[in-house]
Structure 1
Amino acid sequence: MPRRSPTPRTPRAHWLLLGLVLLVLCGLLGLDVLLNRAGVASTPSGTRQFVPESAFAGGSVIDPREPVVQHPPARHLALTFVDGPDPQWTPEVLAVLAEHRVHATFFLTGAQAAENSALVQRILAEGHEIGNRTLTRTDLRQAGDLRIQLELQATDLVLAGTAGITSNLVQPPYTTTGSLDYEAWKSFLRIGNHGRQVVVADLDSQDWRQPDPAAVLANSTPRDDRGAVLMMRDTAGPGTVQALDHLLDGLQRTGWRVDSVGGTFQLPTTMNEAQIVERIAGTMLVAIIKLSSWLADTLRVLLWLATALAALRAVFVLVIVPIHLRRSRRWEPPWPISQRVGVIVPAYNEEAGISSTVRSILASEHPVEVIVVDDGSTDRTAEVVERLQRRFPRIRLIRQENAGKAAAVNTGLAAANSELVVMVDGDTVLEPDAVGHLVGHFTNPAIGAVSGNVKVGNRGKLLGRWQHIEYVTGFNLDRRVYDVLRCTPTVPGALGAFRRSAIQEAGGVSDDTLAEDTDLTMALERAGWRVVYEERAISWTEAPATYRQLWKQRYRWCYGTLQAVWKHRRAVIERGAAGQLGRRGLPYLVIFQVLLQVIAPVIDVTTFFALFTEDAGRIALTWFAFLLLQLVPGVIAFRLDKERLGPLLALPLQQIVYRQLMYLIVVQSVITALAGARLPWQKLERRGQLVAARRQ
């Protein structure tokens, strides 16, 4: 219900900023997927057409520009390590090499080098060579010239940014003498177009299969006295380290010379000093790669956190809701309350539904007086109520200038003749026994307010069905938890009963926040009153029928809730009912209705990008676990509310579509709150669909 106020200062530029942030995040996550996805080797064609016969004679260094194929001298072994550096195993490999005083060539992938820049510098400082293994360890046989250029140049930039060098040597992934074919040879020619030399191994330790050290040693030992190029992996594990120690000891004892590629082949230049431009660009690229890796790791942590929070909520439900169920079944008021109750209906432009609302109140089994406060409506709301007033003398109509919902409720409270009052929105329809169930709790003098069970009436379409699921599995289920913990933060404006004296003691209904119902409930608890939930007191509300209206409503709710939490934050250190609210209700609300909503998009974002990585199975399983953790409380809540389970079939789609809208609303609310903006009341458009929907 709007009230006149200065033009709101809404930070609309935050959407542009949020869009830019999302674009950057998606770009970084895409980069991380590109850098860390599992490489897939293409199947060699087997054809040797146009491939020089000398290329099959053993390990070699090929200059594709001539082309010239060089082989190592007899009893010379060029020792290479590929796919590193690895923070755990590369230092151990370096230690073994230092012990045997052997130099090697480390063909580094750009992604790994960026993540472990200190190791790149150490490899260079200890006299070893550094070669290019491409940025993403992709099979270059199926890559075009542009892709090959990008893979090699990006890796050179990483090397320039980490160690100040670039490399002339390239070891193409998935290519050894045994797999050399025409497709591989074409990729060599493309590599030569960029001024590089290609190193092809003829001995493969196969340590990537992680066999025992004896098997790695057997695969790595030359079969005869011909020179060879050995390929090992400093990422494979302890088998490689142990086998390397035994291999070097045996080769050195038998007179073999083990050296780097440059030393074995007597190459004049294998590495170049990077230019200043390359160093600057490389430093920036390394920073971007590290940021993408950090972001991906952080999102995976948040994925587990979001799943853990969902599991925690499920545990809360499974443990606490049965307690509430047993209590509610046993509870009956010690004596009936027969006094007339004032039902206050603040109304602004409620022409479409006000008649149904008033008629449902008049049909209550408990004695009631209806007080409609027309807050300056610009439609025919007051005329509709006046016509009803002529037929039903228990209706009182009060008109006032538009001042907002809080002011309208305060007007109704001042006009009420009863100590017990019920507040109902102008789009709500009550069940005949709802008022009686509510007021029965006031036989306990400690109770200041009672929350009713609000249901979505217009649930025929998909958007309404999604909101129906949210009301039952979210709002109403949480109210049961709050009731057991004695920390209910909100008595909904759609249906709630109050002691009028308790509201007056708390200072009346405040307009400090947009969630006046939450603000009032928290104020009552901080004043020492108990607030309980009555599931049998049912009302039907008309939920927003369009996404735009839904956005306006939930934005106001979320922003108002944040305002109320901040306003009543001191309840955390207070005692009694206030302390229960502060140390139970507020944390539960912030964790599950704000924090979980903010980080829950991680579930979908991480799952999407993980589908392109080797973690796809594990992440997808986590996503389904998260969905299951939403379904379990949903089934329980629907059973407790005696609802059909059919609408839960829309839950998976709700998690994919509807949930994203809720995320954006929470994010906008948090940003608006941090910016300190004050929003006006946002009146929703009513279509009078409630009665028809209830007859379905």
Structure 2
Amino acid sequence: RAPYNADSEPQTFEELEPISRSRSENYLTVGESIDPLDWQPNVTADSIYARVVRQVEDRNASIILLHDAGGNGREATVEALPRIISYFKKRGYNFTTVAGLMGKTMDAVMPPVPPSKDGWLVKLNFFFAEATYWGSHFLFSLFFVGIFLSVGRIVFMAVLAAIQKKREKSFSNAVDQPAVTVIVPGYNEEVNAVRTIQSLLQQDYLNLQVIFVDDGSRDNTFNVVNDFYRSTPNVQVLSKVNGGKASALNYGISHSGTDFLVCIDADTQLKSDAITELMKKFDSGNSIMQVGAVAGNVKVGNEINMITNWQSIEYITSQNFDRRAFDLLNCITVVPGAIGAFRKIAILEAGGFTTDTLAEDCDLTMRLHRKGYQVRNCTTAISYTEAPETMSQFLKQRFRWSFGIMQSFWKHRDALFNPRYKNFGMIALPNILIFQMMLPFLAPLADLVLILSLIAAGFGIIPPSLHQIILYYLVFTLVDVAGAAIAFSFENSGTIPGNGVQQHVKYSRLLWLLPQRFIYRQLMYYILFKSFNRALKGELQGWGALKRTGNVKRVAAV
């Protein structure tokens, strides 16, 4: 008989051709006309019996197909069989085998295979059959686990973000403005540095100092910045031997004389009220924990092509959305390098920015949690950063992020599931482990399972769980889009760089979400694999520098 996944009533050439080929090799094909589907889970003997009787009466059929299944084992089929035999015998039917129907012996119809000749082939066939069976089940299991975890996280984060949004305080304008020093580290930033400092000098925060630290740039960064701001009293331009971003930040901190610091990237422009908004968050209210750091709201300022548009969506739906949610639980893991405010004493107590990871901002944030400081989020402190504009630059940046976060996680692994560190140890670190280090390996498998299942269905091989795969994938996609829409709704405020006009984030951009998510999953798999490979080899990785274009549009005063 044809395999279970082939057509029992062949009609097309593709269905008839294998039968014709087998007949030419002296095989006979036996079909069935009664199939009670006794292989279905939780089937009962009564339902098997009723289906057989109904099909015989409806079709006048005579060949019954029973499987080596039926219920949880074979008990349902075994229990139904005597009733089926009794029913048909009472109606004058005779039961026979294929050999009996042909008037031949069993050995003539099914000659035994000589064990000495084809034994290895039988074993090989059995091995591949078992590997295919368990391999497909393993893939399906990973698919369902990945979908379940992804949907659960989206819902969990959306609920937290919504609660945090509702609880956000409406601060009045602060009367007291303590002195703040903005530290801007730069390496080969002659294209952006002057404009970045200019946006700082346009801040509505009056008590402000700026320190620009050139980290041994190979271009003309130091001379350009120094010549432009030589006569500006509240701008200090420093230069040092190249040592990386963390080293440059520490150098700037050592030259600062204020209790509060704001650290930004040299390719970043701030809205004119950004520092004012950041400083409001240092009021810890009734909390006994002092606020040690405040994360700002980073947006992409150079949405000029598909890659930068996709990053803009990611900043809104992933990074900023996650920080909003984790703000509620005081377990933000990254105060972004593009915009973050700190108490100087908190940085010093935590040991400053360290040079042993590529994610110095993530590592410092984790150490602040361990020191007992609050880390807050400020969605109204908006900065616009220059995102990578080419795929090679994007992969370079994301590898540095991924590898750096992996280093930071490993550095603080003793806090994982440690109740001493509260939500940082019980929620934030497990989130990194599961959703940033493990799940990205499973995510492409979900796409692979769906694609392979659809391809198999196209060839008439219908996986038993195909409808579940499609259903769960659609549920995941819909929940993902809904979560992204919620994130977009939270971002519907502020100005777009270049015109200062109050605009809303366009929901039509969600159309980019599906291709962005699909391709991002494959890219993150590659990046994570590369990071793990580099970590296992124990290789070091430098800070590096991205090619700057200066395409971040100037932020209008607001």
525-534 vs 263-272, which deviates more? 263-272
Match of 2:105 among 247, 257, 266: 266
Q: Is the 8 A contact 1:549 1:684 kept in 2?
A: yes
Matching residue within 145, 153, 174 for 1:313: 153
Distance verdict in 2 for CA 1:205–1:653, change over 3 Å: closer
Structure 1 position 657, deviation (Å): 2.3
After TM superposition, the score normalised by the length of structure 2 is 0.84
The answer on whether the counterparts of 2:37 and 2:48 sit within 8 Å (CA) in structure 1 is: no
Structure 1 CA distance, aligned partners of 2:355 and 2:3?
Answer: 53
Identity in percent: 34
Task: Find the residue that maps to 1:565 and give its secondary structure.
Answer: helix
The answer as to 2:383 corresponding to 1:539 is yes
Q: Secondary structure at the match of 1:379?
A: coil
Residues 284 and 236 of structure 1, relative CA distance in 2, 3 Å threshold: closer
Deviation of 1:588 after TM superposition, in Å, equals 2.0
The answer to whether the 8 Å contact 1:220/1:230 transfers is no
TM-score (norm 1): 0.68
| Alignment partners' CA distance in 1, 2:133 and 2:107 | 37
Partner of residue 315 from structure 2, selected from 460, 471, 475: 471
SS of equivalent residue, structure 2 residue 112: strand
The structure with the largest alpha-carbon Rg is 1
Gap change, CA 1:274 and 1:359, over 3 Å in 2 = farther
> 2:481, 2:87 → 1: CA distance?
62
Q: Aligned pair 1:393/2:233, yes or no?
A: yes
Q: Which residue of 2 aligns with 1:234?
A: 67
Measured against aligned partners, the alpha-carbon deviations of 1:58-106 in whole angstroms (never above 9, x if no partner) come to: xxxxxxxxxxxxxxxxxxxxxxxxxxxxxxxxxxxxxxxxxxxxxxxxx
Residue 573 of structure 1, CA deviation: 5.8
Within a 5 Å distance, the mapping from 1:381-530 to structure 2 comes to 381-444=221-284, 446-530=290-374
Counterpart in the other structure of 1:39: 7
Q: Is 1:650 matched up with 2:543?
A: no
What residue number does 2:481 align with? 631
For residue 622 of structure 1, report the CA deviation from its aligned partner.
2.2
How far the C-alpha of 1:253 sits from its partner, in A, is 9.5
Relative to structure 1, the CA distance from residue 318 to residue 535 in structure 2 (aligned partners, 3 Å threshold; closer, same or farther) is: same
Partner of 1:213: 49
Query: Which residue does 1:683 correspond to in 2?
Result: 545
| Structure 1: gaps (5+ residues) | 1-33, 46-137, 144-171, 173-186, 222-227
- What is the SS of the residue equivalent to 2:282? helix
Shift of 1:513: 0.8
Q: Which whole-Å CA distance do the structure 1 matches of 2:472 and 2:54 have between them?
A: 41
- Shift, 1:575, TM fit: 5.5
TM-superposed CA distance for 1:633, in Å, is 1.5
**1:609 aligns to 2:448 (yes or no):** no
Compared with structure 1, are the counterparts of its residues 215 and 582 closer, same or farther at alpha carbon in structure 2 (3 Å cutoff)? closer
Distance change (3 Å), C-alpha of 1:544 and 1:288: same
Aligned to 2:179: 340
CA distance in 1: counterparts of 2:180 and 2:476, whole angstroms:
45
Q: Give unmatched runs, 5+ long, in structure 2.
A: 493-504
1:191 counterpart = 2:41 = no
**CA distances 1:261-300 after superposition (whole Å, capped 9, x unpaired):** 4565235543324444632233233222322222222222
Aligned CA distance change for structure 1 residues 389 and 219 (closer, same or farther; 3 Å): closer
Cα RMSD after superposing both structures: 3.3
Asked if the contact 1:372–1:395 (Cα under 8 Å) also holds between the matched residues in 2, the reply is yes
Q: Does the Cα contact within 8 Å between 1:337 and 1:439 map onto a contact in 2?
A: no
Distance in 2 (alpha carbons) for counterparts of 1:608 and 1:618: 14
Partner residue, 2:471? 621
User: Letter of the aligned partner of 2:518 in structure 1?
Assistant: I
| More displaced 10-residue stretch of structure 1: 605-614 or 280-289 | 280-289
- Whether the 8 Å contact between 1:572 and 1:582 is mirrored in structure 2 is yes
Q: 1:626 to 1:503 in 2, by over 3 A?
A: same
